[in-house]
Amino acid sequence: MTSDNDRRRGLLARLRERPAARSRGRRRLGAAVRLFAALMLAGGAYTVFAPGVQAQDNPPLTGAAAEGKALFDVSCVTCHGRNAQGVEGRGPSLVGVGAASVEFQVGTGRMPMARQEAQAQRKPKVFTDEEIRQLGQYVQELGGGPIVPEGDDLHSDANIAAGGELFRINCSQCHAFGGGGGALSSGKYAPSLRPASDRQIYAAMLSGPQNMPVFGDNQITPEQKADIIAYIQETLKHDQDPGGFNLGRYGPSTEGLAIFLVGIVALVFASLWIAGKS
Amino acid sequence: MKRRKFDMAAAPGNAARGLDDRFQVATPLRRLLNKVFPDHWSFLLGEIALFSFVILLLTGVYLTFFFEPAMTEVVYNGSYAPLRGTPMSAAYASSLDLSFDVRGGLIMRQMHHWSALLFMAAIVVHMLRVFFTGAFRKPRETNWIIGSLLFWVGFLAGFTGYSLPDDGLSGTGLRIASAIMLSIPVIGSWVTSSVFGGEFPGDIIISRFFIAHVLLIPGLLIALISVHLGLVFKQKHTQWPGPGRTNGNVVGERMFPRYALKQGGFFMVVFGVVALMGGLFQINPIWLFGPYEAWVVSAASQPDWYVMFLDGSTRLMPAWEIPIPIGDGYVIPPLFWPTVVLPGILVGLSTLYPFLEARHLKDYRSHNLLQRPRDVPARTAVGAMAVSFFVVLTLSGANDVIADKFQISLNAMTWAGRIGLLLVPPLAYYVTYRICLGLQQHDREVLAHGVETGIIRRLPDGRFVEVHQPLSAANGHADGHGALEYVGWVVPKKMNRLGALGPAIRGFFYPIEKPAEAPVSPGHPPVEPRPEREEISSGESRR
Amino acid sequence: MTTHTEHQAQQGREPLDVNTPGLSQFDIVREGARRDDIEIVHYEPQVIPGTKAERRLTRVVASFFLLTGLAATAFLVIYIWWPWQYAPGRGGDKWYTPLLGVTLGVALLAVGFGILTWGKKLLPKEVSIQDRHEGAVAEDDRTITGHTMLYMAEEMGVKRRPLLGISLLAGLAPVGAVAAAPLVGGLISDPHKNNQMFTTGFAPAEGGEKIRLVREDGRPVRPADISTGGQITVFPGIDHGISNKHADSPTLLIHLRDSDADESRQANERVGHGDYMWGNYAAYSKVCTHAGCPASLYEQQTNRLLCPCHQSQFLITDNARPIFGPASRRLPQLPIEVDSEGYFVAKSDYTETVGPDFWERP
């Protein structure tokens, strides 16, 4: 709640993000971190110097939601506006998107966003689970919307085979048969499902983040969602490939690369040795 | 001594005599055993293709014992839990059984697939070797044509095989194949309907592809390969220029024992590499693709690598539809050009190239000596152009994977491919041509002045010069500038390459007159050279 | 084949009598090579019998062969006793194929390198030179063969008796056709039978009854089933509607946002599809007009539909106009409405040809 805390967390976030930024070679992240820190400072200053604002125009909020609003007002308000009404050209209104959306966007580190670009990227998350819950509660109380059910394991007792069929018809066209993700038009992409948790996959289906279509509970029932999650977690992620190294599951493109880089190269070396003068 | 030998070997000797009485094999067998093969690593590339074809036959026969080429709908009930209860075609179910319920079936399937990729890769690499060394020239044009046909027939073999499991990925490929056939003007719909037995996908295509894949195409491949090898045998292998090598002889090893042993060993090595890849690298995980359903697709759907260039050309093709306003109106879809016309042109160009080049150079003589790529800059540059064309198309065939993994816009990748296809080949031509000329010039310079030694000497008048080690004993020129003639083979460019020249015979610039001082075992008296040995030359003039 | 004796005669070398006593085996081998116009110019043992080097190389080769035996045995042991049945998760069965590959690969590589080392290091080095005899066929032979063939042709007298040739051709041509007829006749299939290229499963049934849009499990679809910004694959609610028998029928039903739906309706008006949408719902063929892949990568914010095979992109809010890539034709739109029970039905079949383009598409 205090600005000191915010600053410290900002620093921590910076420290955490540094190596990731370097390792992925994404220069953007550097900018993201700076922007984020600036936002933090601005937000922190805002809470310090204008403590009275939040009391005036608020509907009554539950405790968690009030905490969430406080977080919102320092971290999200720049783009999503006062009371999450949205800011033209910067961020959409969050009224009615529900806690599921918050859980996905903030929980996967996509929000707070570094800057406006084709698509928000998965990053180390900035808030703790508790804070995300509070933010979610706040957004939920603003205008309702979908909620992810309780619990971390959302796929036990589900039918993997049914999930596989649903996955192939609804998910594989973008996320690819192995769940590794794929390209969309003009720089957008469907992300890899490998780092996603049960709750994040569930939240993504419910809320349709970015360009992903929404798969509401009427279209894919909660049981079917559990099936899909089971297929992703158990078969795509946990199941070891029976045929050896899977070459990234990129399909024939890496297989073609392998036959030249491994097969042909090995055999050319062999023939060099065979025909070479001893 | 001879007598004792005869006694010892009486039984096999008698058997051999009996065989020869009946079949008169002694003379042809001697010729076979004695046949001389030149030795160079690049001559082994074609063998990789041959050996992987043998592996394909072996593993392929194994697979047919378990595969059921039928599109009857069954409900899967095998060991692979994530698909249990899924309705699918019998072909896909039996492919799954091959992978999960036949003990050791998965490694056979994977070895079959890897050797198919290796077969095509080796064909291409072998073709490049033949092209860049000019081995396709008269009298070997026929074999070049057969070779390029082998690529296209192998392409068909690969595509039909890829389609057989009837999984989600191969079904998508089949759907595209049907669209390609549909796109042929006038007869397209009739061809497609006839091949698929009605509307796509029908229920017979897998059976038809199966018989094509296991009988018709392999039969054709065997026939072509036999003729290919027969011609190599009859026309004898080409060889690199070098000491003692002329257009009229073959310098190398007799087939037995050394050459044959090396071949046998190399077959085992190829087989071993395929086995390792089949076990260690998962290929075509059909159980993840699911059964083929017309509405199911996966991101990054691609064909195997040797078809990928056509997929790339299809992706790069602009949406140019040609309407023909006669009667009700007809169209030529944009799909027609990159998938029917382009391969047609490629087949034509590749098969006709030897004749085009001969015509262009007005060179109708027989050539048995190879040319170093640098010595024929125009051909090498054309080859580089073709390779870069192929590479741009192949990369474009995987442009969605590249876009996704390297975070490039997909649309940008398509445009890069379109522009690259026009710009890269001419650039490759120019750069290759210049590199060839540069290498040629350097060769001539070394021949004229010798090898750079790295020793800098100061002359009395204060100038610094680098000392060059002349390659020949200066014939009359004190400074070592006895100009040596270039004979079309490696010129030593480093000091430690001196004396280690040529692939087989020691001493490059002097013909071997006496290999003699070799230690000689009692059974092997020293050999004398033929009296009529002529002076070395490359046997042809170079430009 | 025919000329080696002549050739030798030209060279003036008498063939050696191989029965001469005192000839070594190598002499005979070399003589054999000479008779094939091969001169062994260099034959040099690489290792001297009895030396350390020989023993070492022998050991190397032998150990390669023994390694083969070892690896092959390991292969058999693994093949028989290693658990191989698929079990979900990570486990021993997942190592079955890699272990087989490694043991088999090592066995084959070891025998290969054993043989190679044997041939390369233990056998004598040799350089042999063989004459190619190109153009060795005497010009005479060509003349003789040519004349023999001409003579035969003349003997047959086709020139003198042209009727023979003509009648033979006339007789053979139909025989060729007979060979081709069963194949062509059996395979050929009319693509326009039942107007199949221009209809899909959504064509109203015989009684004019409209076909429902159903999901992959056969349940009909209600408007409430699709959230805003969602899409669902639907099929004709007929027999085998959800199967490859109706490979052209899969359709994408999209629930657009209000603003996008307005834009979409205006675009539809422009192409005469004014009443094809129902509310904010639009249905477009899932089969790409380019090569027939399911164009189903729907981006709900940009309203683009991407085909994963060749990257054609269609703008849904502009009546699925192709805006990028090789596709040249809009995705056909299915006119939809909601029936009295509240389920989506197709008002009629597609009004444009579904699927990849072909010549006679009007």
Separation between Cα atoms, residue B181 and residue B176, nearest integer Å: 9
**Pair (B162, B22) in one structural domain:** no
For residue B83, list chain A residues with Cβ-Cβ distance below 8 A: 161, 164
pLDDT band at A35 (very low <50, low <70, confident <90, very high): low
For residue C231, list chain A residues with Cβ-Cβ distance below 8 A: 213
Q: Which residues of chain B have pLDDT under 50?
A: 1-2, 6, 475-476, 478, 480, 500-543
Separation between Cα atoms, residue B213 and residue B164, nearest integer Å: 9
For residue A244, list chain C residues with Cβ-Cβ distance below 8 A: 97-98, 101
Average pLDDT over residues C207-232: 90
* Residue of B55 and A106 predicted with greater confidence: B55
Chains that touch C (3 or more CB pairs under 8 A): A, B
Residue B112 in domain: yes
Give per-residue pLDDT as tens, C268-301: 999 888 889 998 999 999 999 999 999 889 998 8
| pLDDT over 50 at A10, yes or no | no
Beta bridge partners of B451: B469
**Pair (B109, B258) in one structural domain:** yes
Residue C283 in domain: yes
Per-residue model confidence (pLDDT) at position C135: 61
Q: Count interface pairs A-B at CB distance under 8 A.
A: 207
Separation between Cα atoms, residue A154 and residue A198, nearest integer Å: 6
Answer with the one of B330, B355, B380 that is the final residue of a domain. B355
Q: Is C51 on the interface with B (CB under 8 A)?
A: no
Q: CA nearest B285: which of A228, A177, A263?
A: A177
Name residue, tokens 């398509």. B414
**Pair (C240, C313) in one structural domain:** yes
Q: CATH fold of A170-239, please?
A: Cytochrome Bc1 Complex; Chain D, domain 2 (1.10.760)
Average pLDDT over residues C108-125: 92
**Pair (C87, C30) in one structural domain:** no
Task: Enumerate the domain spans of chain A.
Answer: 3-143, 170-239
Planar angle of CA B483, B486, B488, nearest 5 degrees: 170
* Residue of B397 and A139 predicted with greater confidence: B397
Residue C74 in domain: yes
Q: Give me the amino acid identity at C139.
A: E
Residue B275 in domain: yes
**Pair (C237, C285) in one structural domain:** yes
Q: Is C269 on the interface with B (CB under 8 A)?
A: no
**Pair (C217, C312) in one structural domain:** yes
Answer with the one of B299, B327, B355 that is the final residue of a domain. B355
Please give, rounded to a whole number of angstroms, the shortest distance from the CA of A174 to a CA of chain B: 5
Per-residue model confidence (pLDDT) at position B533: 41
Beta bridge partners of B369: B239
Answer with the one of B320, B355, B390 that is the final residue of a domain. B355
Say how many domains are in chain C. 3
Residue B387 in domain: no
Q: How is residue B443 annotated by DSSP?
A: H
Token pair for B4: 């004792």
Separation between Cα atoms, residue B138 and residue B364, nearest integer Å: 7
Q: Tell me the three state secondary structure of residue C356.
A: coil
Q: Count interface pairs A-C at CB distance under 8 A.
A: 93
Residue C311 in domain: yes
Nearest residue in chain A measured CA to CA from C96: A242
CATH number (domain holding residue C227): 2.102.10.10
CATH number (domain holding residue B340): 1.20.810.10
* Residue of B475 and C224 predicted with greater confidence: C224
| pLDDT over 60 at C1, yes or no | no
Percent of chain A with pLDDT over 70: 77
**Distance, C-alpha B477 to centroid of its chain:** 47
Q: Crossing angle for the helix pair B105-133 and B377-397, nearest 10 degrees?
A: 150
For residue C33, list chain B residues with Cβ-Cβ distance below 8 A: 34, 254
Separation between Cα atoms, residue A32 and residue B227, nearest integer Å: 65
**Pair (B14, B78) in one structural domain:** no
Please give, rounded to a whole number of angstroms, the shortest distance from the CA of B274 to a CA of chain A: 8
**Continuous segment of H or E residues that includes residue B214:** none
Separation between Cα atoms, residue B63 and residue B312, nearest integer Å: 31
**Neighbour tally for B291: CB within 10 Å:** 25
Separation between Cα atoms, residue C301 and residue A88, nearest integer Å: 16
**Pair (B115, B21) in one structural domain:** no
Residue C297 in domain: yes
Q: Is C314 on the interface with B (CB under 8 A)?
A: no
Q: CATH fold of A3-143, please?
A: Cytochrome Bc1 Complex; Chain D, domain 2 (1.10.760)
Per-residue model confidence (pLDDT) at position B496: 64
Per-residue model confidence (pLDDT) at position A262: 95
Token pair for C99: 């272990």
Nearest residue in chain B measured CA to CA from C361: B330
**Pair (C220, C119) in one structural domain:** no
Separation between Cα atoms, residue A93 and residue C85, nearest integer Å: 53
Please give, rounded to a whole number of angstroms, the shortest distance from the CA of C291 to a CA of chain B: 5
Chains that touch A (3 or more CB pairs under 8 A): B, C
**Pair (B112, B9) in one structural domain:** no
**Pair (C232, C272) in one structural domain:** yes
Separation between Cα atoms, residue A122 and residue A118, nearest integer Å: 13
Give per-residue pLDDT as tens, A236-254: 988 889 999 989 888 899 9
Planar angle of CA A226, A228, A234, nearest 5 degrees: 90
Q: Which CA distances in Å does B264 have to B36, B317, B395?
A: 17, 46, 36
pLDDT band at A277 (very low <50, low <70, confident <90, very high): low
Give per-residue pLDDT as tens, B348-364: 999 999 999 999 999 88
Give per-residue pLDDT as tens, C177-208: 998 999 889 999 888 888 888 888 899 888 88
**Pair (C294, C328) in one structural domain:** yes
| pLDDT over 90 at A70, yes or no | no
Environment class of C200 (CB within 10 Å of its CB; exposed 0-12, middle 13-18, buried 19+): buried
Please give, rounded to a whole number of angstroms, the shortest distance from the CA of C331 to a CA of chain A: 17
Residue B141 in domain: yes
- Characterize the bridge pairing of strands B464-469 and C38-44: unpaired
**Pair (C30, C59) in one structural domain:** no
**Pair (B27, B160) in one structural domain:** no
**Pair (B274, B252) in one structural domain:** yes
Token pair for C57: 């190389």
* Residue of B120 and A17 predicted with greater confidence: B120
**Pair (C26, C69) in one structural domain:** no
**Pair (B236, B327) in one structural domain:** yes
Separation between Cα atoms, residue C122 and residue C116, nearest integer Å: 10
pLDDT band at A56 (very low <50, low <70, confident <90, very high): very low
Query: Which structural domain, as residue segments, surrounds residue B59?
Result: 36-355
Say how many domains are in chain B. 2
Per-residue model confidence (pLDDT) at position C313: 93
Greatest CA span in chain C, whole angstroms?
A: 111
Q: How is residue A195 annotated by DSSP?
A: T
Residues in C 174-203 with any Cβ partner in B closer than 8 A: 187-193, 196-197
Q: Is C38 on the interface with B (CB under 8 A)?
A: yes
For residue A258, list chain C residues with Cβ-Cβ distance below 8 A: none
Environment class of C250 (CB within 10 Å of its CB; exposed 0-12, middle 13-18, buried 19+): buried
Residue B535 in domain: no
Whether omega before B257 lies within 30 degrees of 0, making that bond cis, reads: yes
| pLDDT over 80 at C232, yes or no | yes
**Pair (C20, C96) in one structural domain:** no
Whole-model pTM over 0.90: no
Residue C353 in domain: no
Per-residue model confidence (pLDDT) at position B539: 38
**Continuous segment of H or E residues that includes residue C189:** none
Q: Is C12 on the interface with B (CB under 8 A)?
A: no
DSSP symbols for C272-320: T-TTS-BTTEEEEESB-TTT--B--EEETTTTEEE-TTT--EEEGGGTT
Same fold flag, A3-143 and A170-239: yes
Separation between Cα atoms, residue A247 and residue A236, nearest integer Å: 14
**Pair (C224, C108) in one structural domain:** no
**Neighbour tally for B371: CB within 10 Å:** 22
> Which candidate from B277, B282, B293 shows the least CB-CB separation from A241?
B282
Nearest residue in chain C measured CA to CA from A119: C301
Contacts of residue B391, Cβ cutoff 8 Å, sequence gap at least 6: none
Query: Which structural domain, as residue segments, surrounds residue C106?
Result: 52-130
Token pair for B512: 């071997």
**Pair (B108, B18) in one structural domain:** no
Greatest CA span in chain B, whole angstroms?
A: 95
Phi-psi region of B267 (alpha: psi -120 to 50; beta: other; left: phi over 0): alpha
For residue B92, list chain A residues with Cβ-Cβ distance below 8 A: none
**Continuous segment of H or E residues that includes residue C333:** strand C333-334
Q: How is residue C327 annotated by DSSP?
A: -
Sheet holding C321-324, edge to edge: C297-299, C304-306, C313-315, C321-324
Name residue, tokens 């990369």. B395
Residue C323 in domain: yes
> Which candidate from B303, B401, B412 shows the least CB-CB separation from A250?
B401
Nearest residue in chain C measured CA to CA from B187: C359
Nearest residue in chain C measured CA to CA from A236: C89
* Residue of C44 and C252 predicted with greater confidence: C252
Q: Is C299 on the interface with B (CB under 8 A)?
A: no
Residue B533 in domain: no
Token pair for C83: 């658990």
Residue C251 in domain: yes
For residue B500, list chain A residues with Cβ-Cβ distance below 8 A: 277
Residues in B 77-136 with any Cβ partner in A closer than 8 A: 81-86, 99-100, 106, 110, 114, 117-118, 121-122, 125
Give which of A185, A232, A245 to mutate to test C binding, by max C Cβ within 10 Å.
A185
Contacts of residue C332, Cβ cutoff 8 Å, sequence gap at least 6: C284, C285, C289, C350, C351, C352, C353, C354
Give which of C115, C122, C254, C301 to mutate to test A binding, by max A Cβ within 10 Å.
C301
DSSP symbols for B23-70: H--HHHHHHHHH-EE---GGGGHHHHHHHHHHHHHHHHHHHHTT----
Give which of C227, C280, C286, C312 to mutate to test A binding, by max A Cβ within 10 Å.
C227
| pLDDT over 60 at A264, yes or no | yes
Q: Do B282 and A164 touch (CB under 8 A)?
A: no
Please give, rounded to a whole number of angstroms, the shortest distance from the CA of A266 to a CA of chain C: 12
Residue C327 in domain: yes
